[in-house]
Amino acid sequence: VTARLKLKPLRSALTQAGFLDARKEVREMMKAAHGDRDVLQCWMTRRLDGEPLPWLTGLTTFLGNTVRVDRGVYVPRFQTELVARRAIDRLPDGGLACDLATGSGALAVALGNARRAARVIATDIDGDACRCARKNGVEVYQGHLGSPVSVELHGCFDVVVAVVPYVPTDQLDFLPRDVRRYEPRVALDGGSRGLVFLEQAVWWAAVLLRQRGTLILELGGDQDRELLPILANAGFALADRLLDEDGDLRGIEASRL
Ligand SMILES: C[S@@+](CC[C@H](N)C(=O)[O-])C[C@H]1O[C@@H](n2cnc3c(N)ncnc32)[C@H](O)[C@@H]1O
């Protein structure tokens, strides 16, 4: 009863501030704070200021996997689970996958846990992201997209999956305030039309994948159409467009010819 009385004002404060799932958020904070009131109070202040919940608790859930997310590292989105599921479907057990721009390593963790006998390699340009992914048990290398991957593995991958920054630079100002304020720009800014890293990921995938290997990219808007000529030039055929429950484009699957 005491705990309930204490939780109620916390829930109300979050609800009044517009947080949609205040009950769940308070529950997660309580659990991670081990009931320490001072920690909880500090986290509440930071949360009400818009800081991502996983940066406070240090944890999030991605496709049923518990993933550590350090402060300053991009928080994996549940929308990305669609892309992760498709990557898992295409990865044979005992196969080889590469997660370009892995962030916390959430996708690599999901792939590795779903395909225990597979090897999953990941990369990220950001040192903090690499450290975080490593804490999640991911084999990660720091550098630009596919460049840190050993040359001996070129042409050997069954699956390349990538959630690169793909927000067009001129759209960054329209992202939710808290995203703009807290999440690292290096994780979001996709340059002109959001295509800069998507294009480079396609070219790296052409280097890394075996014939008939699969490339899965997260993207949005009409970026699938814009990417078509690049895919064709790099030797890919578009295999599928990944739509969410609302019919919005969330990604593409392409096959290396
Ligand atoms: C949108 S986040 C996605 C992270 C992760 N895949 C996920 O879904 O949670 C994009 C990531 O790309 C990384 N990044 C940005 N530029 C990069 C580059 N040139 N090469 C590799 N990674 C890069 C960022 O550090 C960030 O972790």
pLDDT, tens digit, for every residue of 224-256? 999 999 999 999 999 999 999 999 999 999 999
Q: Is 129 in the pocket of ligand 1 (CB under 6 A)?
A: yes
User: HEC states along 29-54?
Assistant: HHHHHCCCHHHHHHHHHHHHCCCCHH
Give the mutation target among 78, 107, 126 for probing the ligand 1 site: most ligand atoms within 8 A of CB. Answer: 126
pLDDT band at 9 (very low <50, low <70, confident <90, very high): confident
Distance of CA 7 from the midpoint of ligand 1 (Å): 36
Q: Is 146 in the pocket of ligand 1 (CB under 6 A)?
A: no
Residue 8's pLDDT is what? 84
Residue 21's pLDDT is what? 87
Alpha carbon distance 227, 105 (integer Å): 25
Residue 109's pLDDT is what? 98
pLDDT at 35 over 90: no
- H helices present in 136-182, as ranges: 177-182
Higher pLDDT, 134 or 34: 134
Q: What is the pTM of this model?
A: 0.94
Q: Is 76 in the pocket of ligand 1 (CB under 6 A)?
A: yes
pLDDT band at 82 (very low <50, low <70, confident <90, very high): very high
pLDDT at 3 over 80: no
pLDDT at 203 over 70: yes
pLDDT at 185 over 90: yes
Residue 150's pLDDT is what? 98
- Two structure tokens written together for 210: 């075996």
Burial class (CB in 10 A: 0-12, 13-18, 19+), 67: buried
User: Helix count (H) and strand count (E) of the chain?
Assistant: 10, 9
Q: Is 200 in the pocket of ligand 1 (CB under 6 A)?
A: no
Residue nearest to atom 10 of ligand 1 (CA): 187
Residue 5's pLDDT is what? 44
Give the mutation target among 63, 104, 109, 125 for probing the ligand 1 site: most ligand atoms within 8 A of CB. Answer: 125
34-32-108 Cα angle (round to 5): 150
Q: Is 138 in the pocket of ligand 1 (CB under 6 A)?
A: no
DSSP assigned state of 254: E
Distance of CA 101 from the midpoint of ligand 1 (Å): 4
Q: Does residue 84 sit in helix, strand or coil?
A: helix
How much is the average pLDDT of 190-214?
98
Residue 1's pLDDT is what? 37
49-52-53 Cα angle (round to 5): 105
Cβ(32)–Cβ(56) under 8 Å?
yes
Residue 2's pLDDT is what? 43
Residue nearest to atom 18 of ligand 1 (CA): 144
pLDDT band at 37 (very low <50, low <70, confident <90, very high): confident
Distance of CA 102 from the midpoint of ligand 1 (Å): 6
The per-residue pLDDT of the chain, averaged, comes to: 95
pLDDT at 4 over 70: no
Instruction: Kindly tell me the sign of the dihedral angle through the C-alpha atoms of 250, 29, 52, 55.
Output: negative
Residue 18's pLDDT is what? 86
Alpha carbon distance 249, 257 (integer Å): 24
